[in-house]
Structure 1
Amino acid sequence: MAITPQLPSVYDPAHPLNLLPIPELKGDLSNFTQWRHILSFHLRYKGLTRYALDLNLDAPSTDEERETQEMHILHAYSLIASKIENIAPVFEKVMGRSFYQDVSGTFHHDPARLWHDILELWRLTLNPDT
């Protein structure tokens, strides 16, 4: 009889997501590399990486697929947005808008756009003349 390995419960302190909690991204982005590494781990562990990286997802073909995709998108967004409050003032100063808004000023819940905005802020703060 084959034994199926059991993943620990998310309430178990030894669960992989509990062992690597997502750190708060510092306002000066000094821990950006660590934050990005651990956030990427969480997104990959939960199968949400493509929602944070793909700006042009395929349209779902059924209502059930649309609802599932929407839940995955919101889950990915919440993982990213949950640890970035400290960079809000810097983002608004550098980018001229909130990171929760698109260029037109409309609020969004798009994890790929949010991820892209944070990467752009990091790039601009590292090389402000580019």
Structure 2
Amino acid sequence: MGRGARIYLFRIELVDRPVLKLGHSSDPERRLLQQLGPAARDTGEVLRAIDMKTGHAALVAEKRAHRTMRTEHPEWVVPPEEFAGQINTKSEIYEIEALEFLLSLMDEIEAEARKDTTSDPEEPDLEPD
């Protein structure tokens, strides 16, 4: 599987605390260093990145994870005004306390992505009848 689409989890130090950023990108390292601003460039680290089959699959998985965070753990969602000017994004920033939960969501995403690659309908079944 190529690196065309990846789900990532970053840890970034704000002036007052560490936070987490979950997202998708074809190049998470570049996104961290060039697109998210000075806090990410200076203090950010990639905690995890998962290869996905397509950009669409990555987007769907990411949106589902954010929906889960908003509905099951709204207390971990950092309001935009608390990171404005430090991270160049409008949402999808979480408190550091969400780390274990986000890693478990990523485990689920990775398991699903692996399942999708092992049951690829484009691959012919080579088992004899």
- Specify if TM > 0.5: no
Higher percent of residues as helix: 1
Higher percent of residues as strand: 2
TM-score norm. by structure 1 comes to 0.29
